[in-house]
Amino acid sequence: MIEVKNVTKRYGAVKALDDISFTADSGEVLGLLGPNGAGKSTTMNIMTGYLSANEGTVLIDGVDILEDPKEAKAKIGYLPEIPPLYPDMTVRKYLEFIFELKKVRLPKKEHIDEVMQVVKISDVENRVIRNLSKGYRQRVGFAAALLGNPPVLILDEPTVGLDPKQIIDIRKLIKSLGKKHTIIFSSHVLSEVSAVCDRVVMISNGKIVADAATDKISETVSGEGMLALEVDGSASAVREAIGSVTGVKRVTKGAGMSYTVEYDSDVDVRRGIFNALAKANCPILMMRQGGLSLEESFLKLTEGGED
């Protein structure tokens, strides 16, 4: 659905993006993750044709954004970091303008009503945008992106500056939209990405440092399987029992009763560990796959990029 191929963007001598490539399939929710200034917004601006890349191509549904910008842009709904709202217009007037600007061919009034209901702004339709709160403005921008039902949605940090209730609403909205649209959304909030996205692309200093399914991302970091355990029993007995299982490479003891086990990712060692610990009479209180949480992978990857 979306293909970003070898995109490089320079601002003067500074390389903002360095040979970035990734794809998003139809119906996928892809998270673009990275610290501030990593190049997320630049990537999105290039994908939507607002900026041009120095090298590389972006294909939206097979259409090159530079060669056939009109057709490619018609397939995209874009919500930039700061929603591009005209403060002197009312919400309805603004959405009507975007509707006409995008040359949407759906019944005008019904479609705008429907989109306003989806993002819950029907109650402010006649208010002037200047007087709206940040949360409402964000949702008006969201509504503008949704107009015309574009197959691709590109959302740049859609939850920044919202209150927790609104954040949850927006996440729910993204999840429900993900069934019908291909969504790329950027964030530096990790819990958000793990809650909403199927796949994560991590960017640090203009380079892609990881590209994997959300639950596999920690494996990509360490290169092998990881288990987090909480086991009751003496440390030496636990180490010995786990160490005896085939496939286990290393056992590290954390704080209290927690242990991290690194193992060969080809074998599933969980049953073996369970049996060994049961034999040693050390009850397992907790077992979780993926030793590193998304937070830890994120830090490990982005710090690694700075060395």
Partner 1 sequence: MTAIMKRELGSYFNSAIGYIVLAVFYFFSGLFFYLYCLLSNTESMNYLFLSMLMIVMLIIPVITMRSFSEEKKQKTDQALLTAPVSLTEIVLGKFLGAFLLFCLCNAIYLLYAIILMFYGTPDWAVLFSTLLGMLLMGGALIAIDMFISALTESQIIAVVISIGVGLLIYMLDSLSGIFNVEWLTNILHSISFDAHFTNFINGIINLNSVVFFLSVIGVFLFLCVRVFEKRRWS
Residues of this chain that bind partner 1 (CB under 8 A): 11, 48-52, 69-71, 73-74, 76, 78, 80, 82, 84-89, 93, 97-98, 100-103, 144
The CB-of-121 to partner 1 minimum distance in angstroms stands at 17
Longest CA–CA separation in the chain, Å: 73
88 phi and psi angles, rounded to 5 deg: -90, 5
Nearer to partner 1, 6 or 52 (CB): 52
The CB-of-90 to partner 1 minimum distance in angstroms stands at 9
The CB-of-16 to partner 1 minimum distance in angstroms stands at 12
Nearer to partner 1, 98 or 132 (CB): 98
Nearer to partner 1, 56 or 305 (CB): 56
Nearer to partner 1, 62 or 87 (CB): 87
d(CA 200, CA 31): 5
Nearer to partner 1, 43 or 204 (CB): 43
Residues present in the chain in total:
307
The CB-of-145 to partner 1 minimum distance in angstroms stands at 10
Nearer to partner 1, 42 or 214 (CB): 42
The CB-of-81 to partner 1 minimum distance in angstroms stands at 9
The CB-of-65 to partner 1 minimum distance in angstroms stands at 10
Nearer to partner 1, 154 or 269 (CB): 154
The CB-of-24 to partner 1 minimum distance in angstroms stands at 18
d(CA 165, CA 21): 35
Nearer to partner 1, 47 or 209 (CB): 47
Question: In three state form, how does the secondary structure of the chain look?
Answer: CEEEEEEEEEECCEEEEEEEEEEECCCCEEEEECCCCCCHHHHHHHHCCCCCCCEEEEEECCEECCCCHHHHHHCEEEECCCCCCCCCCEHHHHHHHHHHHCCCCCCHHHHHHHHHHHCCCHHHCCCEHHHCCHHHHHHHHHHHHHCCCCCEEEEECCCCCCCHHHHHHHHHHHHHHCCCCEEEEEECCHHHHHHHCCEEEEEECCEEEEEEEHHHHHHHHHCCEEEEEEECCCHHHHHHHHHCCCCEEEEEECCCCEEEEEECCCCCCHHHHHHHHHHCCCCEEEEEECCCCHHHHHHHHHHHHHC
The CB-of-164 to partner 1 minimum distance in angstroms stands at 26
d(CA 173, CA 162): 14
250 phi and psi angles, rounded to 5 deg: -155, 145
